[in-house]
Amino acid sequence: MMNLYFHATPNSMKVAVLLYELNLPFDVTPIDIFKGEQHLPAFRAVNPNGKVPALVDDGVIVFDSHAILLYLAEKHGRFIPSALSRKAEMLSWLHLVATGLSPYSGQAIHFLHYAPEDLPYAKNRYVKEVERTYAVLDKRLESSEWLAGDDYTVADMALWGWAASAGYIFGEKGLRDFPAVQRFMTVMSERPAVQQALALKAAHSFKAVLDAETRKALFPQNANG
């Protein structure tokens, strides 16, 4: 049985969508990153980087959401094109999400909601990079049903993970400035796997208060003492 180390965050949620798409049974080990469980030795043995998600599949350990997406897609030969030229297209979009949208969104959320000081330069830098990246994705989805073309792939699941949290960055207007991404999200919301991932999230409760313990767990470099 597979074991997903999970917190209800965008990076874990994209992996949950793939597991449900593949219809694979899996156990869940909740890792409450607000309580510092990502630093416990038992979890560090699975992911030495101390971040969720991570997956153990019959003794095979994979960490980082995009590595997990690719590992499972390759293993099951699904949601990944087999022709190399089409795979190149899929990898390009997947990595744009992995190395652009994901870290820019994470940093934007950090400076908008968690930073102990108001830093307009940092907020502007990351929010603008998130907007710029969504504009690139929006243009792509204006002319293509899915990020990699005609077929639904793990690149789309990766985008869904972060786009589902866009409200933390854009507030009430959400993805309104990116209508093709919005259309994509509506289509995604109708997929049973996405609904199952959302049910998994709802079934787990995690600490939500950003107190001193949580600041120390998430931002140890800034914690006093």
Ligand X SMILES: N[C@@H](CCC(=O)N[C@@H](CS)C(=O)NCC(=O)O)C(=O)O
Total residue length of the chain: 225
Report the residue from 17, 21, 37, 38 that binds ligand X according to the rule CB under 6 A: 38
Q: What is the DSSP letter of 83?
A: S
Per DSSP (E only), the strands in the chain are 2-6, 26-30, 54-57, 60-63
Q: Would you count residue 9 as binding ligand X (CB under 6 A)? A: yes
Residue among 51, 55, 97, 107 that touches ligand X (CB under 6 A): 51
Question: Which one among 6, 65, 133, 159 touches ligand X, defined by CB under 6 A?
Answer: 65
Position 11 contacts ligand X (CB under 6 A): yes
Nearest Cα to Cα of residue 27 among 58, 63, 50: 58
Element spanning 224, H or E: none
- Interface region with ligand X, contact rule CB under 6 A, candidates 2-10, 17-25, 110-118, 166-174: 2-10
The dihedral through the CA atoms of 140, 146, 148, 149 has a sign that is negative
Pick the piece of the chain touching ligand X (CB under 6 A) from 51-59, 109-117, 120-128, 191-199: 51-59
Alpha-carbon distances, residue 109 vs 10, 11, 26, 48, 222 (angstroms): 12, 14, 30, 24, 17
Least distance CB 61 / ligand X (angstroms)? 13
Query: Which positions from 75 through 104 interact with ligand X, judged by CB under 6 A?
Result: 102
Q: Which is nearer to ligand X, 102 or 133 (CB)?
A: 102
Instruction: Report the interface residues with ligand X, using CB under 6 A.
Output: 7, 9-11, 33, 38, 50-53, 64-66, 102, 218
